[in-house]
Amino acid sequence: MRPKMTAGMVGVGMIFDDTYRPFFEAVARQGLYDRRFGDLDVQLVAVATKTGSRAERYLRQSAGLIPPFANCSGDGAVQQMLQHRPTFACVATPDNRHFEAARAILETGVHLLIEKPSVLSLSELDELTAIAERRGVLARVVYHKLLDPDHKKLRTLVADNVLQHVNNGYCSLLEPRQISGQQFSEWITGRNPGTYVAVHYIKLIDFTFGGRLKTVLCTGQRGLVGPQDGNTWDSCQLRLIYEYADGREAAFDIHTSWVTPDNFPGYVEQEVQFRFDNGIWNGHSRKRGVELTVDQLTPLKLKNTINNHYNGSFLEPWGERSQRGYGIEVIDRFAREVAWVEHGGASAERPQRLQQIRQLEYADLAADRQVVAAIEAMERILEEQAAGRPDRVARYDGRTIQLH
Ligand SMILES: NC(=O)c1ccc[n+]([C@@H]2O[C@H](COP(=O)([O-])OP(=O)(O)OC[C@H]3O[C@@H](n4cnc5c(N)ncnc54)[C@H](O)[C@@H]3O)[C@@H](O)[C@H]2O)c1
């Protein structure tokens, strides 16, 4: 009998379909192998959601692809899921509902993988980090863009000092109206596109360039998704100011929206530009080379510019159907990190293995602190704007945020 790792899932919405589902189906076929931990089975054993209906549908669709799993729903869904004692559990609920599930998972002594944005405040982050430490488990966050080959190349050039000292930059990520109008209509009230997607770029900037986050500014517009004087935001413009070890600074503007017309030629618009002392990095995730037109299908059912790197469905040259990309690779990587902690050697050395994975900061919750500080600052500034006190500035001293 091969050793087995079991998994629990909280939330089975859009991101589950894009990344977790293909991971669990692939690992059910292929297993998880590495010379350092051997040949393991990985099985999704329980799913927790609000109503159970999407999980029920997936149970039917996945028959024959993965073994059946327990469908837990309602108020006690996460606790029911945890009664199956999974080796690890993943949280993919709406942005503002990560914390409770994550805390319950860690308190049970189960390794945690949490979707971005990990949590919305520093106090929540610190609480989760402390529980993970006390229970001796991993608490990790999914930032799949760090695995995008273009972003890996940017970081490589920075790490190798080919690109020297970033001075400023901009990023934009624009989502179609369908996201705010249909996909997230159940939980959109009081939310903003910055927390939802600027966080990808906050992490990219924080992880790639390092430095100390000092100042956060933010503005937002309303009137399409919700009332123009309400607290539900159509678009946001965030500015972050960092200071580096030599005392020099950099500023980054991140523009996000979820009201781009649905007939836009790509799924999302994602563009970055970073200016260095000795160079410029210009990246465009949508214009990586493919332009597709199909009568009656583009741009609504299929997009003209498609990102085949994140999560694409393919007919492999050897005849197999597959779904692959960096969105799935990041989940696979987490499963391998857990596998190494639990099966990568003598149990007496488990604490060292745990510590070694925690030091991989790209995904560690403790290393997400500046990102969460930026998110908390942005949310607080927008709250102030909604309350009739616009143009606030947030300063972060490494521990707490002060609004001015
Ligand atoms: N990495 C990425 O690029 C990426 C992309 C999309 C979404 N996400 C993140 O993934 C998370 C989920 O997004 P989505 O698009 O899948 O959302 P969604 O609205 O499609 O699905 C949310 C799921 O959570 C469940 N749920 C809601 N409240 C719950 C609760 N209290 N307890 C248990 N289950 C609950 C719902 O039943 C549903 O299954 C968000 O945090 C989002 O930011 C990440």
Which residue puts its alpha carbon closest to atom 6 of ligand 1? 15
Considering the domain architecture, whether residues 168 and 291 belong to the same structural domain is answered as yes
Q: Which atom of ligand 1 is nearest to the CA of 101?
A: 32
Task: Using the atom order of ligand 1, give the atom closest to the CA of residue 51.
Answer: 37
Q: Within this chain, do residues 238 and 174 fall inside the same structural domain, yes or no?
A: yes
What integer best gives the mean pLDDT of the chain?
96
Confidence of residue 287 (pLDDT cuts 50, 70, 90): confident
Helix (H, G, I), strand (E, B) or coil at 205: helix
pLDDT recorded at residue 307:
86
| pLDDT surpasses 90 at 377 | yes
Task: Indicate whether 330 belongs to any domain.
Answer: no
Report the distance separating Cα 393 and Cα 218, nearest Å: 8
Question: How many CB atoms are located within 10 Å of the residue 187 CB?
Answer: 14
Same domain, 258 and 394: yes
Contact 378, 239 (CB under 8 A): no
Q: Is residue 136 part of a domain?
A: yes
Res. 15 pLDDT band, cuts 50 70 90: very high
Query: What is the pLDDT at residue 257?
Result: 97
Q: Beta strand 32-34 with 312-315: parallel, antiparallel or unpaired? A: unpaired
Residue 56 lies in a domain: yes
**Number of domains within the chain:** 2
Ligand 1 atom closest to the CA of 55, numbered from 1: 39
In a domain, 122, yes or no: yes
pLDDT tens digits, 319-336: 999 999 999 999 999 999
Same domain, 228 and 296: yes
The tokens for 20 are: 């977790």
Cβ(50) – ligand 1 distance below 6 Å: yes
Same domain, 228 and 373: yes
Q: What is the pLDDT of residue 184?
A: 85
Name every residue whose Cβ is closer than 8 Å to that of residue 333 and which is 6 or more positions away in sequence.
147, 363
pLDDT of residue 359: 98
Give the tens place of pLDDT for each residue, 251-272: 999 999 999 999 998 889 999 9
* Bridge-based pairing state of the strands 88-91 and 111-115: parallel
**12 pocket-lining for ligand 1 (C-beta < 6 Å):** yes
3-class state of residue 276 by DSSP: strand
Say yes or no: 251 and 391 in one domain: yes
114 and 71 share one domain? yes
Task: Give CA–CA dist 144/139, Å, rounded.
Answer: 16
Residue with tokens 């998994």: 7
CA of 95 to the centre of ligand 1 (A): 7
Q: Are residues 196 and 255 in the same domain?
A: yes
Q: Any residues with CB less than 8 A from the CB of 97 and at least 6 apart, and which? A: 187
Task: For ligand 1, atom 21, name the residue with the nearest CA.
Answer: 13
Residue range 106-133: mean pLDDT, rounded: 98
Q: Which atom belonging to ligand 1 lies closest to the Cα atom of 143?
A: 1
Instruction: Give the domain extent around 215.
Output: 149-308+369-403
Q: Which tokens belong to 149? A: 């080959």
Q: Can you give the pLDDT at residue 289?
A: 81
pLDDT at residue 1, rounded to an integer: 85
Question: Is 144 close to ligand 1, i.e. is its CB under 6 Å away?
Answer: yes
Quickly list DSSP for 224-246: SSS-TTSS--SEEEEEEEEE-TT
Per-residue pLDDT tens over the stretch 308-318? 999 999 999 99
- Residue 39, SS3? strand
End-to-end CA distance of the chain: 61
Please state, in angstroms and rounded to a whole number, the distance separating the CA atoms of residues 156 and 158. Answer: 5
CA of 335 to the centre of ligand 1 (A): 20
Predicted local confidence at residue 183, as pLDDT? 85
pLDDT confidence of residue 102: 98
Confidence of residue 388 (pLDDT cuts 50, 70, 90): very high
Q: Compute, in angstroms, the gap from residue 191 CA to the centroid of ligand 1.
A: 13
Asked if residue 66 and residue 128 are part of one domain, the reply reads: yes
Tell me the mean pLDDT in the region 198-224.
98
- The answer as to whether 345 is a domain residue is yes
Stretch (H or E) spanning 204: helix 199-209
User: Span 291-308, mean pLDDT?
Assistant: 92
Residue 328 domain-assigned (yes or no) = no
Work out whether strand 88-91 and strand 4-10 pair parallel, antiparallel, or are unpaired: parallel
Rounded CA gap, 176 and 174, in Å? Answer: 7
Instruction: Tell me the CATH number at 114.
Output: 3.40.50.720
pLDDT of residue 186: 86
On whether both 390 and 261 belong to a single domain, the answer is yes
The string of pLDDT tens digits covering residues 97-113 is 999 999 999 999 999 99
Nearest to 313 by CA among 325, 301, 296, 298: 325
Please indicate, yes or no, if residue 275 is contained in any of the structural domains: yes
214 close to ligand 1 (CB < 6 Angstrom): no
pLDDT above 90 for 185: no
For 42-77, the pLDDT digits (tens) are 999 999 999 999 999 999 999 999 999 999 999 999
Question: pTM for the full model?
Answer: 0.96
- Residues 217 and 291 reside in one and the same domain: yes
Token pair, residue 301, equals 């059912």
66: tokens are 């993965």
Atom of ligand 1 nearest to the CA of 54: 39
Q: Is 249 helix (H, G, I), strand (E, B) or coil?
A: strand
- Look up residue 44 and give its two tokens: 């999704």
In a domain, 107, yes or no: yes
How many Å lie between the centroid of ligand 1 and the Cα of residue 89? 14
Confidence of residue 196 (pLDDT cuts 50, 70, 90): very high
User: Are 375 and 358 part of one and the same domain?
Assistant: no
- Domain containing residue 212: CATH number: 3.30.360.10
